[in-house]
Amino acid sequence: MAGTAPWCCSGVFGSLRWGELAALRRSDIEIQARTVRISRQLREQRGGGFAFGPPKSDAGQRTVAIPEVITADLASHIVTYAAPGDDGLVFTSPEGYPLRLSNFCRRVWRPALRATGLPMIHFHDLRHTGNQLAADAGANLRELMDRLGHSTTRAAMAYLHGSDERQQAIADELSRQATAALGGRNPGRSGTQRARRRGRAS
């Protein structure tokens, strides 16, 4: 499948499910606004064929903001590869048909992993990575739920684990806010330390 990079980047930076990506139409993407509207998903039917249906849950119907770093590649992909018309699918097979996960993994995903020396991870792991990146970027629980299309807190909570780096970042931000509140003056020593220093000086 041509245009694999925008597909994978959308999976990571949009935190979209496979079926949501496969169902995207030209009209669902606003490049200038940097948003993707999720209103349906593509489902493979038993015995062959495809069907478009609603997202996994009511919360799955959402608009996701995407980072600027992927918009140029995504816009180029739409112009070059997407099916024509507002309802044209953004991501298709080389023949222009809806994507089938098994074919994509066999023909594109696994060969790409081997070529880059990456382990045989699942495509869905891209969504997990995107979720973690959003949490690390500071998204709170409500924001994560909205972005991921989750109706309960349980799944989103999995990405809000703590880390030493995050704790240090929080401490640094608290310091910045305290310094700003003091008019740019750094309090430096504690009140006890300053009192002791004055006592020694007298």
* DSSP string computed for 113-139: HHHHT-----THHHHHHHHHHHHHTT-
Please say if the pLDDT value at position 16 is more than 50.
Answer: yes
Residues 6+ apart with CB under 8 A from 94: 1, 2
The pTM for the full model equals: 0.76
The rounded mean pLDDT for the chain is: 84
Dihedral angle at the C-alpha atoms of 21, 24, 30, 34, nearest 10 degrees? -10
- Give the confidence band of 154 by pLDDT, cuts at 50, 70, 90: confident
Task: Pick the range with the lowest mean pLDDT from 49-63, 109-123, 187-201.
Answer: 187-201
Please say if the pLDDT value at position 60 is more than 80.
Answer: yes
Please say if the pLDDT value at position 116 is more than 70.
Answer: yes
**Residue from 66, 78, 56, 45 nearest 150 by CA:** 56
Please say if the pLDDT value at position 200 is more than 60.
Answer: no
Whole-number pLDDT of residue 61: 94
Please say if the pLDDT value at position 8 is more than 80.
Answer: no
Q: Is 150 a catalytic residue?
A: yes
Please say if the pLDDT value at position 167 is more than 80.
Answer: no
Domains in the chain, CATH or no CATH each:
4-122 (1.10.443.10), 164-201 (no CATH)
- Selecting among 17, 25, 62, 77, the annotated active-site residue is 17
- What CA–CA distance (Å, rounded) separates 107 from 33? 33
Helices (H) and strands (E) in the chain, counts: 10, 5
Whole-number pLDDT of residue 1: 46
Whole-number pLDDT of residue 32: 95
Whole-number pLDDT of residue 189: 52
Q: Is 159 a catalytic residue?
A: yes
- Selecting among 40, 62, 127, 147, the annotated active-site residue is 127
- Selecting among 106, 110, 114, 124, the annotated active-site residue is 124
Please say if the pLDDT value at position 193 is more than 60.
Answer: no
Q: Is 122 a catalytic residue?
A: no
Exposure class string for 156-181: b at 16+ Cβ within 10 A, else e: beebbeeeeeeeeeeeeeeeeeeeee
Please say if the pLDDT value at position 113 is more than 50.
Answer: yes
Instruction: Look at phi and psi of residue 183 and say left if phi exceeds 0, alpha if psi is from -120 to 50, else beta.
Output: left
Q: Is 161 a catalytic residue?
A: no
Task: Pick the range with the lowest mean pLDDT from 17-21, 80-84, 124-128.
Answer: 124-128
Q: Is 81 a catalytic residue?
A: no
- Selecting among 62, 77, 81, 159, the annotated active-site residue is 159
